[in-house]
Structure 1
Amino acid sequence: MTGPTYLQFHLAFLLPALMLMIATAFVSRARLRAIGRWHLGAGRTYWVGVAIITVVALVYTTPWDNYLIATGVWSYGEGSTLATLGYAPVEEYAFILVQPWLTALWLTHLSLPRGWTTPSRPLGSRVVAAALAVALGVVGWRLLGTAATFYLGAILAWAAPVLALQWAVGAPQLWARRRLVALGTLVPTTYLCVADRIAIEYGIWILSERYTTGVTVAGLPVEEATFFLVTNLFVVQGLVLYRWVLDWRGVGHGTDRSTPTRATDVDST
């Protein structure tokens, strides 16, 4: 292969993004402290949560990823990968491990409202949100029955259980911080979509025409955009809910000792 490799993709897109997020995080934290705002990464417990989510992501994604590669949903350009473990190249596992950290680092740049709201109908909102996730899963399973929608269906069916769990546990808390969740999700999603579009253009990985709809957004298959959207949503919602659970249990905020653990005030992001 004369084009770039999967490893070079990591070096060109993921590594610089990680370094930029780490370098700018210090500036963002200082700015947020100066204006009296708190950020999600204030304290060591945040990084414990990131590590937990990373392990869960690897365990949950690996069988699904390997199955789709074995099925032929996508493949890799000749000579673009170093080695494989199962059906997936080692660079694919690296991607799974790096993405949560990239999104988590971006999330530390955003301010977090202090305290948590007390929803008026917590059970009802959780049930409705979980039902929506189940509906997505049903749609996904139906799409699996047609070759052209197989990849899209696989994404929705795979994502539905995680979304159902997160929304059933903390839909009111996530909705109260919807601006934080949206911004925390959409920025890394956009960046990874652009990187993915370039990787496809250079043939680092190749999506099957048989198992995809052929619908694209600026040249990017809609399936790939959907994948990055749901996976970043997993990470952001998981970290917000992790913070909520720690606050509910009265766990300290590390160095940010001024942050209340059970306040009810709501601020905008």
Structure 2
Amino acid sequence: MIPAPTYLQFHLVFSLPVLAALWYLAPRHVGRRRRRAAAGIAVLVAIAYAYTTPWISYMIRRGAWSYADGAVVVRALSVPLGEYLYFAIQTLVVAFALHRLGFDPTFRDSDFDRLPRAAGVLAGVAMLGGGLWLASRDASLLYLGGVIAWVGPVLALQWAVGGGYLARTPRTWLAATLLPAGYFWIVDRIAIGMGTWRIAEEFTTGIAILGLPIEEMIFFFAAGLMAVNGLVLFEWVLDWNDRGTAAGSPAEEADADTRLVPEPGDD
């Protein structure tokens, strides 16, 4: 019997090659756009580690998923090294895919419309409450409820900040979320089939598509969605700040003062 590949071997075969390909295909921004893109990616990777590690650690300790004997080399807080690598790899894959597809972070006044922002906040809060309720209702709903509750607060915050922008650019963030998620669905199914990791039946609903538990599909979509929204909003906020700074620059203020001085002959 062929032993299951280790987590690091999985990355070498399935994760790192696609990451390298997307890095190669990603546009080479220059100047300020390049600096902002790099800063946004760095910030999102840091947030991914800070926000995801406690949740992943809890789910692993509960037994929602486990790993084949010998598949894990090092653990920290019950989380394998391979999972920590996944946090950065998935964020980078999503980021390079987003920049390859392209997006416009230009701020518009309508981006601060209250309706989409309020709707997004309500949806995120509902996801948090609903997810926690599901997870506490039955063991088979732990993973499903946990992932819904995990993503809810982030989506609420993102839509509170830039709900108007996200509402007018759905093609951007949906495409950049679905394409990487589709790839991760495929390789995740392969890893499960090879036995590198296992999803516990007692903590899942049993609903699967082509052998991939629906909870795993939601996880990869949700993680990608949070990353995409974070990346586009990072540059959108900076563009909004640029416009506010330009509007309040000394030159603008001087022009405004000049316009307030009465011309000779004015009453």
In structure 2, what residue type is equivalent to 1:13?
F
Within 5 Å, which residues of 2 pair with 1:1-269? Answer: 2-26=3-27, 42-113=33-104, 115-119=106-110, 122-145=113-136, 146-250=138-242
Deviation at 1:249, TM superposition (A): 1.1
Q: Identity of paired residues, percent?
A: 39
Give TM-score, length-normalised by structure 1. 0.85
CA separation of 1:75 and 1:114: change in aligned 2, threshold 3 A: closer
In structure 2, what residue type is equivalent to 1:45?
R
* Runs of 4+ off more than 6 Å: none
Q: Which whole-Å CA distance do the structure 2 matches of 1:233 and 1:153 have between them?
A: 17
Give TM-score, length-normalised by structure 2. 0.85
Aligned length: 240
Q: Could you report, residue by residue, the CA deviation over 1:197-230 in whole angstroms, capped at 9, with x for unpaired residues? A: 1011111111111100010012110000000111
Q: Could you report, residue by residue, the CA deviation over 1:228-255 in whole angstroms, capped at 9, with x for unpaired residues? A: 111100110001100111101118xxxx
In structure 2, what residue type is equivalent to 1:183?
A
Q: Could you report, residue by residue, the CA deviation over 1:98-126 in whole angstroms, capped at 9, with x for unpaired residues? A: 11111101111113247333328712221
5+ long unaligned stretches in structure 1: 30-37, 252-269
Deviation at 1:50, TM superposition (A): 0.6
Q: Which whole-Å CA distance do the structure 1 matches of 2:96 and 2:103 have between them?
A: 14
Compare relative contact order (CA 8 Å, sep 6+) and give the higher one, 1 or 2.
1
Q: Is the 8 A contact 1:137 1:158 kept in 2?
A: yes
5+ long unaligned stretches in structure 2: 244-267
RMSD: 1.9
In structure 1, what residue type is equivalent to 2:73?
L
Deviation at 1:25, TM superposition (A): 1.9
Q: Which whole-Å CA distance do the structure 1 matches of 2:133 and 2:73 have between them?
A: 36
SS at match of 1:206: strand
Which structure has more helix as a fraction of its residues? Answer: 2
In structure 2, what residue type is equivalent to 1:207?
I
Q: Which whole-Å CA distance do the structure 1 matches of 2:111 and 2:10 have between them?
A: 48
